[in-house]
Amino acid sequence: MSFYFTIATDRAVEPEDVLAELGRPEVRFHQPGPEMTVFYIPGESLRGVVVGLAPPSVSVGINAFTPMADAALGRQIAAAIGRFLGVAVEPEDSETALPPEDIAQYGGDAWLAARLAEATMVLGPLSRMAEGDTMRIEGYLYPFSITKDMFDTEHDKRDQSVQDVMQKNVALQAYAEREDIFVPSVMTVTPKTAPKRSWLDRLTGKPAVPVQPFDIFFLGVGVHCLTPLLGTGKPGYVGLRDAQKVLWRLPIASFGEFAQQAALPMHGPGIWEITLDEAENATLMRRAERM
């Protein structure tokens, strides 16, 4: 579950206002959407602190499956926004709004521990999933996935295994920010026409295959990449270009087989690191289909 602080206001707040009031130079932000700002600490944050800054209220969200650093940052940001606006802040488990000075350390260490303990709640639905199935979780910058075999089922070891998985993906977030790493964007493509029906399908009256959108990201030769995580429910492909700039697509499962054969570094389920060379590009195109 998530935890929210809410600040009622009719004033707009900019991310730079929050950072100036917070006074922590190591904190950064990015804006994945027009009304969403994610604050984070490189090397410490996993999911970051998700803040909606548009009136009539500001919300400060701390998502489940995140380390204490994000929880502590969340209440500090809520307090900073309250100070900046000169208004009280309402924690979701309080019946009344509280002055900002009471929010920065809201609930003490026990509150931080409770946020960390909530991370184990994902193990319930995860345990009911089939072997090999993954659960997608949004990091502050880079989505990752978890499987039930990552966690120890023994109660006295369970919490440590959860923290180990979180720390591994904290490192992944920071790794994805490196200047020498390129993370391709995922695009959703909707074909203009459905696949052509064969004469046999037409003869037997087999229904036409409907147009099906798919997700794709492109790899470039010589570019050091961390592959983006797919898994939105649509078919997924890796996009390639030949010497004539013709586009090809390769099913993500086929790329995974190639990645395993090539012993590519893996940063979690569905996430590989690769600098594609000409020979590898040619190998993949032999398994691909023209777009």
Chain segment 123-145, per-residue pLDDT in tens:
888 888 888 888 999 999 999 99
C-alpha separations of 219 from 272, 277, 288 in Å: 12, 10, 13
Distance between CA atoms of residues 65 and 121, nearest Å? 8
- Domains observed in the chain: 1-177 (3.30.1400), 187-290 (no CATH)
Chain segment 238-291, per-residue pLDDT in tens:
999 998 999 999 999 999 999 999 999 999 999 999 999 999 999 999 999 998
Angle formed by the axes of helices 252-261 and 278-286, to 10°? 130
Q: What is the largest CA-CA distance in the chain?
A: 76
**Given the DSSP bridges, would you call strands 49-52 and 247-251 parallel, antiparallel or unpaired?**
unpaired
Tell me the mean pLDDT per 10 residues along the chain, length 291. Answer: 93 95 97 91 97 92 94 98 97 95 96 90 85 90 92 82 94 94 94 71 72 93 96 89 93 96 95 96 95 87
